[in-house]
Structure 1
Amino acid sequence: MPMIPKSSALALVCLAVAGCTAWVDLKPQGQGVRILTERDVRTCKRIGHVTSTTTASVAYLPRDDESVQEELRRLSRNYAGAMGGNAIVPTGPAANGEQSFNVYHCHP
């Protein structure tokens, strides 16, 4: 069995972790929260605002943008559900592991 230098093994672990998407679970209160556009929520009531933050890099290595984005969405859906919202709309793009969303309650 070949020996792997410690620095190489550490680098492999960091690369594997950098792509992980399972760091944030969607909680039951977030499952009913949809991600919509401003146009979709014209008849909804805005009930608040959330800013979500997650780790954008691991051991100085940037994480996959899609993984970070998915975690931000899950966190925001969880927060919105806890506030009584059932929809979120991003107020801008994600940057450095942070993104803000307006929270709405829309009638069916």
Structure 2
Amino acid sequence: MPNQQQPTPKGPKKASAANLGLRALIIAAVATTAVAVLSSCSFVKLTEAGEKVDLRENSGTENCKRIGVITVSGVDKVGFINRKDTKVGSELLNQARNDAAGMGANVLVPLGMPIEGKQKFEAYDCP
């Protein structure tokens, strides 16, 4: 009787536990890297008009016309990772300065610290 080879089964190959573990590790590494890169990105760029808006304390607005209150919000988390407070604060200030310029204001006064990615400012037109 001639040597007969057994036919190889057709269809999808079963993944071994080692391959699944390696795949999960690679996916986790890529996801972690993406979150780290995105969390360091600046999402709000200061416009040319926004650059002309100054930040002051409330004591520097005696001779100014009050324009209104600006509430800005930004991204304080990317996925489950908290972004740096300084980065979030900088973006909130950039957004507020851009918005103030659009309202005809040239001075901003913060009305408190950023909380959960939100902050309020008072906008003024000063001589």
Superposed pair shares fold, TM > 0.5: yes
Matched, 1:47 2:35: no
Q: Separation in 2 of the partners of 1:74 and 1:35?
A: 11
| Amino acid in the other structure paired with 2:74 | T
Give yes or no for the alignment of 1:5 onto 2:56: no
Residue deviations 1:14-67 (CA, integer Å, cap 9, x gap) = 11211222x111112211100110011122111111000001100121111111
* Cα root mean square deviation, aligned: 1.4
Of residues 38, 48, 51 in structure 2, which corresponds to 1:31? 51
Matches within 5 A, 1:62-101: 62-101=82-121
> Where does residue 105 of structure 1 map in the other structure?
125
Name stretches of at least 5 consecutive residues in structure 2 with no aligned partner.
Answer: 1-22
Which amino acid letter does the alignment assign opposite residue 50 of structure 2?
G
| Moved beyond 6 Å, runs of 4+ | none
**Match for residue 41 of structure 2 among 12, 16, 20:** 20
**How many corresponding residue pairs?**
104
Which of 1 and 2 has greater Rg?
A: 2
Partner letter of residue 40 of structure 2? G
Give ranges in structure 1 of 5+ residues lacking alignment. none
Q: Partners in 2 of 1:29 and 1:84 — Cα distance?
A: 10
CA drift of 1:9 comes to: 1.6
